[in-house]
């Protein structure tokens, strides 16, 4: 069975998704989802250990040898993404039972798990595949199921948010498809390794350059790079809590991985960074994202929207690391990709706990919740400190490595900027903390009690992961470092 | 117990204390007994480390590797020994005082108060013993966060505002400047360990030394170098025991301790003496001393006056360390101790007056000394120590600071010390005069509760004792610059 792990990673959740429709009973669908996600996590860890021990794995889907068949290729760059997606997927799946019962109508609950598993499949597939067209297919699977997930709850505003995302997401996916089509025209192959070998010969053609532009813009829409992030705040804010947590922690991260894969493996460092001005473009947009989205986050009245804008800013940190164009920069960006998933996962799960009891994520409704829900609020504070980048949290390690990478090439203003925008994070996180702890609930509102353990344990699990990877970052840094080496090849 | 175990045990004591305090919160007597026991155990454990350090040992323990090349761990050297000794000694006295004060004023949320206090002490001791800048930075930030709930203890709008200033300045400077300085150091030197003679020699030259130094000095916001001092008066909204221990001893001392530590163990005195721009620090600190004294002169609120006096006194330590001579460094180290004893006495006395007479302004203090002779007697001793009059601790440290300044003919520093002494007298002696020689107005009141009076007298006694028996701190201060280890 071991040699089929790359296929099982994707196929098992794909098969489980329609089964949840047949099961119909929400509890059974939930149990199946948790089991499938846990199995995926096991698979992903096994794969990662195998890659660490033996180097990249290649798997021929259906026995068809690449470049004709679809190849699944696991190396250091995507092994960690698989672990990340399946870890978050498992934690959120456990969390979902209580949360879904509260936020989604009874007749749709089993469908939530169907869409959830499809989205999960899509993201794992995007990460695992070594075939450019197959990647597009999985991108569509994950996107379509995300649109459904966002709009599945009671909140009717989610419908327009989802529609907005649908339009933007489809434009993005189409752009990606156009780009891949151009590459196929020029090279006659869709296999990523094969593309990487054949592209240098046709590098100077306008078609390849246009393909590059289409792919970068299309992916930037999916990863919510400023100014293509407009779909994100509403989608995160109005989706059910479990969906916000899962999508915020995984979907943009996988898109960033795909961007890295295209820039560095398929087009190659030389083309992307030396022939094309991708470094400068990413640098400017990242800085704009970090500054503008952080400032906008400060003025939000809804905690989920606040966190959503913060996500746009944090994506800016990740792409900033990439824009440095050095191995250290890519590694730092990749590290923040992993850490930010843990941070936002913990924060959205904590907000979900608040939502479960208070039925709102507006700051004005959360007054004094720190006293009535101390454990939930404490988990939020830990996640918030990690977002700011306080020492002993994983966010600190990210900032440390990013600044280190910027200083290594003498980019002083960027180093200063990274730290200065952390201070903006202090402001928006502390607005929430003050509301939770220092303001009193209005007279007449019903007293709330602490969130149930079924929600608290997953939220605290991710919060503690933030602390663990902030104290001993050798594992996450090792993964990020390995990923950067796999992506960058010999570039320093 | 082996030495690494001893260090771990000492550090774990206040942390375990915090947990036990939280668990016993429902029974106030038991809770406060836990606080006192934890404080006593900590002092005993710290005292056992002392002979090792005095004998030239540098006990160390390594915990975990955070990133390649960056480990978290402890290494005790004389300066850290001195700071941890002061903090743990005063924690006991302060706990006794807190019990009297918190009960006397019927404060809310007392359990949270004692828990955060224990965590703050934990981070102070950890900071004192940090083996490298990364560990120190972590404890530095934990100290900020653990004291935030203490500053905002009252929970009203004013406390919230004070808390914002507190957190804003301390976090802003530490993340924006201090962390940048640490990363610069890491980039240049490839290590963050504290080593005698510094780690930057040969890696940073010329004007960059001065720039990095100023980045550190302003980044260490807890040292309250102007214009980064505003958090200190803002923190005065906290209950008095907090102001006393944290804003006269633990937090601000953590700041100036870090300043001295960075100057001695990161830069090294030789590098700084030869750098062209490093002596700017003397002037910045000197201006802070004089300016803060002038502001103190105009404050009517007693605690605010003490706060500005603290700003001024902290810069004594910075200015003295900025002379970059062994005698002046010893003076800086001694002043950390001397000011701790003196200022905690003054804050204790201020809180005592507030508890017994509900007065918090200088202008209301007429005749208080007659009703509260012990409290105001201790206040007088504290004041004299601030001024630097012989028979008090302040004289000892000022002596070393002045002789350090004379060594390098730093006339500016000498002038600042004299001017500031006059100003100190100008804002402390009128209080003493009012308290004892003006007739009392209104109804009489007695002394504060017994635990408060005991604590005030104990710290006043320590202030005098340090003049007559400065042997121990002096030995550590000299070991820092001359003797074993450097």
Asked if residue B304 lies in contact with residue B234, where contact means CB atoms within 8 angstroms, the answer is no
Residues of A in contact with B187 (CB under 8 A): 404, 407-408
pLDDT at B211 over 80: yes
pLDDT at B442 over 70: no
Q: What is the pLDDT of residue B471?
A: 84
Is A409 at the interface with chain B, CB within 8 A? Answer: no
The whole-angstrom distance between A464's CA and the closest CA on chain B is 16
* CA nearest neighbour of A310 among A387, A226, A399: A387
Q: For a pLDDT cut of 90, what percent of chain A falls above it?
A: 67
Whether B67 sits inside 8 A of A438 (CB atoms) is: no
Task: Tell me how far apart the alpha carbons of residues A66 and A77 are, in angstroms, rounded to a whole number.
Answer: 20
Q: Which residues pair with A225 in a beta bridge?
A: none
Q: What is the pLDDT of residue B276?
A: 80
Is A471 at the interface with chain B, CB within 8 A? Answer: yes
Q: What is the pLDDT of residue A491?
A: 67
Count interface pairs A-B at CB distance under 8 A: 69
Asked if residue A403 lies in contact with residue A418, where contact means CB atoms within 8 angstroms, the answer is yes
Is A422 at the interface with chain B, CB within 8 A? Answer: yes
The whole-angstrom distance between A294's CA and the closest CA on chain B is 16
A72, containing H or E segment: strand A71-74
Confidence of residue B484 (pLDDT cuts 50, 70, 90): very low
pLDDT at B58 over 70: yes
Residues of B in contact with A407 (CB under 8 A): 183-184, 187
Whether A423 sits inside 8 A of B171 (CB atoms) is: yes
pLDDT at B485 over 50: no
Whether A473 sits inside 8 A of B67 (CB atoms) is: yes
Is B157 at the interface with chain A, CB within 8 A? Answer: no
3-state DSSP of chain B:
CCHHHHHHHHHHHHHHHHHHHHHCCCCHHHHHHHHHHHHHHHHHHHHHHHHHHHCCCCCEEEEEEEECCEEEEEECCHHHHHHHHHHHHHHHHHHHHHHHHHHHCCCCCHHHHHHHHHHHHHHHHHHHHECEHHHHHHHHHHHHHHHHHHHCCCCCHHHHHHHHHHHHHHHHHHHHHHHHHHHHHHHHHCCCECCCCCCCCCCCCCHHHHHHHHHHHHHCHHHCCCCCCCHHHHHHHCCHHHHHHHHHHHHHHHHHHHHHHHHHHHHCHHHHHHCCCCCHHHHHHHHHHHHHHHHHHCCCEHHHHHHHHHHHHHHHHHHHHCCCCHHHHHHHHHHHHHHHHHHHHHHHHHHHHHHHHCCCEHHHCCCHHHHCHHHHHHHHHHHHHHHCCCCCHHHHHHHHHHHHHHHCCCHHHHHHHHHHHHHHHHHHHHHHHHHHHCCCCCCCCCCCCHHHHHHHHHHHHHHHHHHHCCHHHHHHHHHHHCCCCC
Q: Pick the residue of B180, B189, B237 with the most A CBs within 10 A to test the interface with A by mutation.
A: B180
Q: Is the peptide bond before A227 cis (omega within 30 degrees of 0)?
A: yes
Q: Pick the residue of A391, A396, A475 with the most B CBs within 10 A to test the interface with B by mutation.
A: A391
Is A401 at the interface with chain B, CB within 8 A? Answer: yes
Give mean pLDDT, residues B325-350.
Answer: 90
Residue among B66, B141, B167 minimizing CB distance to A471 = B66
Maximum pairwise Cα distance, chain B: 68
- The residues of chain A scoring below 50 in pLDDT are none
Is A171 at the interface with chain B, CB within 8 A? Answer: no
Task: Provide the 8-state DSSP code for A258.
Answer: H
Task: Provide the 8-state DSSP code for A221.
Answer: H
Residue among A391, A430, A434 minimizing CB distance to B137 = A391
Distance between terminal CA atoms of chain B? 27
Q: What is the pLDDT of residue B83?
A: 92
Q: Where do the structural domains in chain B lie, given as residue ranges?
A: 280-486
Which chain B residue's Cα is nearest to A382?
A: B145
Task: Tell me how far apart the alpha carbons of residues B337 and B317 are, in angstroms, rounded to a whole number.
Answer: 10
Residue among B155, B167, B175 minimizing CB distance to A419 = B175
- Summarize pLDDT for B384-401 with one digit per residue, the tens: 999 988 888 889 889 889
Q: What is the pLDDT of residue A1?
A: 66
pLDDT at B476 over 90: no
Task: Tell me how far apart the alpha carbons of residues B330 and B320 are, in angstroms, rounded to a whole number.
Answer: 9
Burial of B483 (0-12, 13-18, 19+ CB in 10 A): middle
Residue among B66, B141, B160 minimizing CB distance to A472 = B66
Q: What is the pLDDT of residue B473?
A: 85
Which ipTM score applies to this complex? 0.86
Q: For a pLDDT cut of 70, what percent of chain A falls above it?
A: 98
pLDDT at B483 over 60: no
Residues of A in contact with B175 (CB under 8 A): 388-389, 419, 422-423, 426
Q: Pick the residue of B63, B146, B179 with the most A CBs within 10 A to test the interface with A by mutation.
A: B179
CA atoms within 13 A on the CB side of A439: 15
Structure tokens at B194: 């504290």
Q: Residue B128: CB partners within 8 Å, gap ≥ 6?
A: B76, B79, B80, B81, B83, B84, B87, B254, B257
Structure tokens at B115: 């828990």
A103-107, B35-39, B254-258, B421-425: range with lowest mean pLDDT: A103-107
Whether B176 sits inside 8 A of A419 (CB atoms) is: yes
Q: What is the pLDDT of residue B1?
A: 66
Asked if residue A47 lies in contact with residue A39, where contact means CB atoms within 8 angstroms, the answer is no
Residue among B66, B175, B184 minimizing CB distance to A473 = B66
Q: Pick the residue of B25, B62, B65, B67 with the most A CBs within 10 A to test the interface with A by mutation.
A: B67
Q: What is the CA radius of gyration of chain A?
A: 21
Q: What is the pLDDT of residue B486?
A: 36
Residues of A in contact with B168 (CB under 8 A): 426
Residues of B in contact with A385 (CB under 8 A): 145
């Amino acid at each position: 069975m071991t040699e089929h792990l790359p296929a099982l990673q994707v196929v098992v959740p794909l098969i489980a998704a329609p089964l949840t429709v047949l099961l119909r009973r929400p509890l059974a669908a939930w149990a199946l989802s948790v089991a499938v996600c846990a199995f995926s996590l096991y698979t992903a860890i096994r794969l990662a250990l195998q890659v660490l021990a033996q180097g990249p794995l290649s798997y021929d889907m259906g026995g068809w040898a690449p470049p004709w068949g679809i190849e699944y290729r696991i190396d250091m760059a995507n092994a960690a993404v698989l672990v990340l997606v399946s870890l978050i997927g498992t934690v959120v799946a456990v969390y979902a039972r209580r949360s879904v019962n509260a936020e989604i109508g009874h007749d749709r609950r089993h469908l939530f798990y169907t869409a959830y598993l499809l989205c999960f499949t899509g993201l794992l597939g995007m990460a695992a595949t070594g075939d450019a067209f197959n990647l597009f297919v999985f991108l569509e699977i994950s996107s379509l199921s995300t649109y459904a997930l966002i709009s599945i709850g009671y909140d009717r505003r989610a419908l327009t948010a989802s529609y907005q995302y649908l339009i933007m997401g489809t434009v993005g996916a189409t752009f990606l498809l156009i780009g891949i089509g151009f590459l196929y025209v020029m090279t006659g192959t869709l296999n990523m390794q094969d593309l990487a070998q054949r592209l240098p010969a046709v590098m100077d053609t306008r078609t390849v350059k246009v393909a590059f532009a289409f792919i970068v813009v299309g992916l930037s829409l999916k990863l919510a790079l400023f100014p293509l992030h407009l779909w994100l705040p509403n989608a995160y804010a109005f989706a059910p809590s479990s969906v916000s947590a899962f999508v915020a922690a995984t979907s943009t991260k996988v898109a960033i991985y795909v961007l890295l894969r295209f820039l560095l493996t398929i087009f190659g460092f030389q083309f992307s960074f030396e022939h094309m001005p991708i470094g400068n473009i990413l640098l400017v947009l990242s800085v704009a994202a970090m500054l503008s989205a952080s400032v906008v986050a400060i003025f939000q009245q809804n905690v989920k929207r606040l966190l959503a804008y913060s996500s746009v800013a944090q994506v800016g940190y990740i792409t900033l690391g990439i824009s440095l164009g050095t191995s250290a920069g890519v590694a730092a960006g990749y590290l923040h990709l992993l850490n930010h998933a843990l941070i936002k996962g913990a924060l959205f799960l904590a907000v979900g706990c608040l939502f479960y009891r208070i039925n709102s994520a507006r700051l004005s409704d959360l007054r004094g919740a720190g006293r009535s829900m101390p454990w939930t609020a404490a988990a939020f504070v830990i996640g918030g400190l990690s977002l700011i980048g306080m020492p002993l949290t994983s966010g600190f390690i990210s900032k440390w490595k990013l600044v280190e990478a910027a200083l290594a090439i003498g980019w002083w203003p960027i180093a200063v900027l990274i730290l200065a925008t952390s201070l903006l994070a202090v402001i928006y996180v502390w607005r929430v903390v003050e509301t939770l702890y220092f303001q009193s609930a209005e007279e007449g509102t019903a007293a709330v009690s602490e969130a149930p353990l079924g929600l608290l344990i997953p939220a605290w699990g991710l919060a503690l992961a933030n602390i663990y990877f902030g104290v001993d970052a050798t594992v996450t840094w090792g993964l990020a470092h390995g990923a950067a080496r796999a992506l960058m090849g010999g570039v320093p | 117990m082996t030495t690494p175990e001893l260090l771990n045990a000492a550090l774990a004591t206040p942390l375990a204390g915090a947990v036990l305090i939280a668990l016993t919160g429902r029974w106030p007597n038991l809770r406060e007994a836990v606080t006192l026991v934890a404080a006593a155990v900590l002092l005993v454990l710290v005292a056992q480390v002392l002979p090792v350090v005095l004998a030239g040992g540098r006990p160390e323990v390594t915990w975990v590797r955070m990133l390649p090349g960056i480990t978290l761990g402890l290494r005790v050297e004389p300066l850290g020994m001195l700071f941890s000794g002061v903090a743990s000694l005063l924690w006991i006295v302060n706990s006794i005082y807190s019990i009297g004060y918190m009960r006397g004023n019927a404060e809310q949320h007392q359990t949270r108060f004692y828990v955060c206090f224990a965590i703050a002490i934990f981070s102070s001791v950890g900071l004192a013993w940090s083996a490298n800048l990364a560990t120190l930075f972590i404890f530095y930030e934990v100290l900020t966060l653990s004291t935030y709930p203490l500053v905002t203890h009252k929970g009203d709008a004013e406390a919230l505002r004070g808390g914002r200033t507190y957190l804003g300045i301390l976090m802003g400077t530490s993340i924006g400047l201090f962390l940048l300085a640490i990363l610069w150091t890491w980039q240049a030197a490839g290590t963050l360990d504290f080593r005698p003679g510094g780690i930057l020699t040969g890696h940073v030259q010329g004007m960059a030394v001065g720039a990095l130094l100023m980045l550190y000095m302003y980044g260490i916001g807890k040292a309250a170098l102007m214009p980064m001092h505003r958090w200190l008066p803002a923190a005065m909204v906290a209950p008095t025991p907090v102001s006393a221990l944290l804003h006269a001893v633990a937090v601000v001392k953590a700041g100036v301790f870090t300043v001295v530590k960075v100057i001695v163990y990161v830069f090294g005195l030789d590098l700084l003496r030869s750098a062209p721009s490093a002596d700017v620090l003397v002037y910045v600190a000197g201006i802070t001393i004089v300016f803060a004294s002038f502001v103190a002169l105009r404050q009517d609120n007693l605690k605010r006056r003490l706060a500005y006096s603290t700003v001024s006194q902290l810069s004594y330590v910075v200015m003295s360390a900025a002379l970059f001579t062994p005698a002046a460094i010893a003076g800086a180290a001694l002043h950390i101790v001397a000011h701790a004893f003196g200022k905690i006495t003054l804050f204790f006395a201020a809180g005592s007056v507030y508890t017994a007479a509900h007065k918090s302004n200088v202008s209301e203090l007429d005749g208080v000394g007659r009703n509260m002779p012990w409290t105001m007697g201790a206040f007088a001793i504290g004041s004299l120590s601030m001024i630097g009059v012989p028979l008090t601790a302040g004289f000892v440290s000022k002596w070393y600071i002045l002789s350090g300044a004379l060594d390098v003919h730093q006339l500016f520093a000498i002038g600042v010390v004299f001017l500031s002494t006059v100003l100190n007298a100008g804002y402390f002696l009128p209080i003493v005069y009012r308290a004892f020689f003006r007739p009392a107005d209104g109804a009489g009141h007695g002394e504060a509760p017994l635990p408060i009076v005991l604590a005030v007298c104990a710290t006043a006694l320590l202030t005098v004792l340090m003049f007559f028996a400065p042997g121990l701190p002096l030995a550590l201060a000299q070991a820092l610059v001359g003797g074993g280890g450097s």
